[in-house]
Structure 1
């Protein structure tokens, strides 16, 4: 009997091997046999970090979220337009016109509505007929309105208006590493003014404050509080603050600081 059992097991094992060779089993995610490479180059499996400023969209007052790629492009366009001397209306049109290249007149019309006081609330968009909760399901005019509203809020959030009558202003920006807090103070020192920027950083960062031909830089190798300041004449001037997170995002966040005496 032991000899018969061993022979039987050998036959079964051989038949199973032949069956597996002829019809290899599939992984749960496979519908057919797939040949995999013996190794994968390291560059092809490197993780691509998420865009660092994507989390800020959650702080915008929008009834429907923008797709990540559109929000990123919109943010980049607003950054480029931030220091332009154009009025807000043309800035909004330039920020979104590449999304709707064949509908310039419609963009112009909707931008006019967005700039009106009664249209600043998201309620105006929510009352549009057949409003869906996904950007791709919106009508072109609704997509325009949503994009223009987002651009307007971004430009407003990226611009800090400060004056002797309103000498302190604070702004928060959400990043994938946590919350960035920027606090700007204006102090009068006789014939000169001093512009101070205090920051609370969620991760290592480099800050650069510049304007009126001067600039100053500060850096931190970890999450920390960092401050920097500039002496400035008592005249209306525009300054910029660039916040770069080397370990999070290559594109720095640019804030405009508009000083009004």
Structure 2
């Protein structure tokens, strides 16, 4: 919950909502949907039968996050809580949260940016995940390095093979998979102690 409590939101979301949003993000982060569709799919359970308004707000958040949220959540009209917000404000807050969560869980590597890292705050400390890849003759070699704040494990799933690593205490773990296809998304599962697994999406692209 540490990461979720530190999201850059003008109004905090209830813990139960954040936990549910994280679960929904992990279910869509590996999908081939465009970013806007992922945002909507992750929050639509909060706003049943309001799909048109939700899509309208999502477009505003996608096109101009600062301006759109400023229009929907101006300081003068800022709600005192998520529960006190009107529907468009709740939608904007939820979409902003999901966009930030998905950004933290997604690592896209390209020939021009072959190394990408992400940090995720946990109650035990900071988890750092770093991805490096090489593209040679149309085949991808993917290397993952993770600094764990406590004992845990990593699992990187390829198309045919998977790589596993674990350690009983805090420290670094490394994984590598070869002969992967570019322009696909591969799941990296991180287990820290007895906490729920955290799912990252690693996308090696052939251009960019």
TM score, norm. by length of structure 2: 0.90
More strand by share: 2
The unaligned stretches of length 5 or more in structure 2 are none
Contact 1:97 1:104 in 2 (8 A): yes
1:154 aligns to 2:120 (yes or no): no
**1:48 corresponding residue in structure 2:** none
Q: Distance in 2 between matches of 1:120 and 1:252?
A: 35
* 1:65 shift after superposition: 1.1
1:137 aligns to 2:137 (yes or no): no
1:204 aligns to 2:204 (yes or no): no
Which structure carries more relative contact order (alpha carbon 8 Å, separation 6+)? 2
**2:134 corresponding residue in structure 1:** 187
Q: Distance in 1 between matches of 2:55 and 2:183?
A: 31
* 1:64 shift after superposition: 1.0
1:253 aligns to 2:198 (yes or no): yes
Please point out which of 163, 166, 173 is paired with 1:226.
Answer: 173
Contact 2:191 2:198 in 1 (8 A): yes
Q: Distance in 2 between matches of 1:233 and 1:194?
A: 6
Cα deviation per residue 1:215-246 (whole Å; 9 max; x = unaligned)?
10000111111111111346323211100123
* 1:165 shift after superposition: 1.3
Contact 2:150 2:193 in 1 (8 A): no
**1:237 corresponding residue in structure 2:** 184
* 1:207 shift after superposition: 0.4
The unaligned stretches of length 5 or more in structure 1 are 1-53
Other structure's SS at 1:135 match:
coil
Please point out which of 18, 34, 38 is paired with 1:91.
Answer: 38
CA RMSD of aligned residues (A): 2.0
Q: Give the greater-gyration-radius structure (CA).
A: 1
